[in-house]
A and B are shown apart, each in its own frame.
Chain A
Amino acid sequence: MTLLEVKHVRRSFGGLVAVNGVSFSVNPGRIKAVIGPNGAGKTTLFNIISGLLKADAGQVTFKDRSITGFKPYQIARAGISRTFQNPSLFFQMSVLENVMVGRHRRSGREFAACCLRLPGQPKEERSIREAALAQLDYVGLAHLAGFPAGGLSFGQRRMVELARALATDPELLLLDEPASGLNTREKENLGALIRRIRDRGVTVLLVEHDMTLVMDLSDDILVLHNGTIIAEGSPVTIQSDPKVISTYLGGEFRPPEEVELALLTGERPDTAPGARVVPTRSSPVGEGAVR
């Protein structure tokens, strides 16, 4: 049984084909990583799955139901939640309120009920607050509940965003580079946290450049390059896959140990002779461009 099925998805921007006929599936209860050099199309793929971008062609199926062309909120309600490559908190709100927004789809009082505090509304409000607090506690930030979200450190923002995504009680969690910008200790905590999330039954699909984390955490890995999948499999197979090796190490053959080393250090010799890797960009596109 598969939870998420992506079939022949394609998306171009002007002349650039960012995602070019990508097909893969995600099995429930697993951690799957999508890796690939800068500009490979990872974020674009996430944006398509979560409905922020429309695919030019192809289908996305979630729990045997087509979600192709769904609006972001419909996809969220179907059970897919995500975080963004740039932590995308509501900066005018407190940390707790941010996470409370995550409970939106798990509550239902509308304008009239909220204005008039109709019976049941205060109770629902309390349960939203409690669930959000529990989620904050889960990521270890309960002590920051009342703090303005704009005043958090980068790492804390990532964690609050994660708590907010978890507050929707998703079945599938998409994490776009959750470890980038975190220090070593924060990364270790994150790895443990993601594993705990998986163990509580949430399937995780993550994009990540930190190879230590990826190799350590993932059950499956998907390698994307120039918008196409060049390899898929367990961490061990990926580390010895010749195509992956040439993508990451620039054409010439190298012994597997050296490849593993390069992957582990996250080294991407984009400038190596013969490399066919899209130049590194400093600022991620994708999410921002959707606005």
Chain B
Amino acid sequence: MSHRLKALLPFALFALALVAVQFTLRATGREYCLTQLTMSLYYAIVVIGLCLVMGYAGQVSLGHGAFFAIGGYTSAVLTTHDFSRVNATAWAGALRQACLLVAKDDLYGNQIVTASPWAAFLAAMLVTLVIASLIGYPALRLKGHYLAMATLGFGLIVYKTVLGTALFGAADGINGVPEWKLGFGLTVSGRSALRVENYYVAGALVLVLLVLLRNLIHSRVGRALQAIHDRETAAGAMGINTAAYKLRAFVLSALLAAMAGVFFTHYTGGIGPSEASAFKSVRYVALAASGGMASLWGVTGMSTLLNYLSFRGLFGSYDNAVFGVILITIVSLAPEGPLKPLGLWVGRLVGMRSTASQTKQNNGDTVERVPTTVI
């Protein structure tokens, strides 16, 4: 039982930290900061998903910005596009019955019919599932970093498509995305009255996903993924269908990115083409690396923090460059992420020699411990 409690402790601490941050901001009269923090939490979901692909399946995706955008754009289009022309058909009636289509007034007071946010969410998941499978299937049957190349090309295609298509609002993106009534009285919306509520919605979503991924990692599937990452040949010889597992991990992680995109788009009321740019995808990789790849907590913390700082404008016009520098620094100086060496260093300062010596033993096999390479 105490083992169980120990496993729950970090999640409780995370929840506590969320609450503490909100109370501190309220007390200091800076509750407006919660908006950017909420957006950072949604971005963190993308990075958490990427962590599964990079830290566990040992593959690099340079297309997670594109998956985020696919999620966001799918729900933005479906919830803003007017379907009244097909409204009279029989199947539209059925969709209305199922609450998948809803009638409402647009900005100018005209009656329009759009997809409901939940329907759009399901559609976004389906689209992502299909696209990620199509990209991942050929790339992941091969050994090596073919996925990085395939997703890089794919990301560029998505970016250019979004930018050049009127349906996607071209360079302006899509605005006027309605709020999303989740049920249980919760609404994903950027209204300032719902700021605190939305902060907790995002926080709870991250928390739930972390619990699910922790379960996954400490399971048969998680071990299989780690085995593939460590030694693909031996993993195959143990009866693991390596190609199928890599594909499933990649698709799952793409779904998480798209899901973050859907929430983000409803929260901010729109989405623009910059979300699909290669800069964003590289940023996610940098954030995953900065959190230590295989450490869910490190990744969540670092990614929320750095994205928040970026939103606060701390990096000024060097914003994208900063993330490039972070990536280079980590790959060359601390491939396992800065947190572990930092923790060791702090530990040594405090005089916890036992921890240090144990980890040294852990590292005894230097040749075999090939750090997760990026790109």
Interface residues on B, range: 35 or more
Binds A, one of B239-247, B299-307, B310-318, B343-351: B239-247
Contact across chains for B234 and A52 when beta carbons are under 8 A apart: no
Residue from B239, B242, B368 whose CB has the most chain A CB atoms within 10 Å: B239
B residues near A115, Cβ cutoff 8 Å: 212-213, 215-216
Contact with B along A127-168 (1 / 0, CB 8 A): 010000000000000000000101100000000000010001
Contact check: which of A73, A81, A90, A109 meets B242 at CB < 8 Å?
A73
Binds B, one of A22-30, A97-105, A250-258: A97-105
Within 8 A of A (CB), among B212-234: 212-213, 215-216, 219-224, 226-227, 229-234
Inter-chain CA distance A114–B212, complex, in Å, is 8
Contact check: which of A72, A105, A114 meets B219 at CB < 8 Å?
A114
A92 within 8 A of B: yes
B235 within 8 A of A: yes
B181 within 8 A of A: no
Inter-chain CA distance A114–B229, complex, in Å, is 19
Q: Which residue of B lies closest to A88 (CB)?
A: B234
Binds A, one of B33-41, B71-79, B151-159, B357-365: B357-365
Inter-chain CA distance A124–B236, complex, in Å, is 21
B104 within 8 A of A: no
Contact across chains for B237 and A109 when beta carbons are under 8 A apart: no
Given contacts A90-B230, A101-B223, A125-B220, contact A111 B252 (CB under 8 A): yes
Given contacts A109-B220, A111-B221, contact A89 B238 (CB under 8 A): no
Contact check: which of A92, A101, A121, A148 meets B240 at CB < 8 Å?
A101
Q: Which residue of B lies closest to A167 (CB)?
A: B238
A residues near B242, Cβ cutoff 8 Å: 73
B residues near A77, Cβ cutoff 8 Å: 239
**Nearest CB of B to A86, in Å:** 10
Using A52-B237, A84-B233 as known contacts, list a sample of 7 further A-B pairs with CB atoms less than 8 Å apart, ordered by residue number in A: A73-B237, A89-B234, A90-B226, A101-B223, A109-B220, A117-B215, A168-B239
| B residues apposed to A, CB below 8 Å | 143, 212-213, 215-216, 219-224, 226-227, 229-242, 248, 252, 294, 361-365, 368-369
In the complex, 20 of the A-B residue pairs with CB atoms within 8 angstroms, ordered by the A residue number, are A50-B237, A76-B238, A76-B239, A84-B237, A90-B234, A91-B365, A91-B368, A97-B223, A101-B238, A104-B223, A104-B239, A105-B238, A109-B219, A111-B216, A114-B216, A114-B219, A114-B220, A115-B215, A150-B363, A291-B143
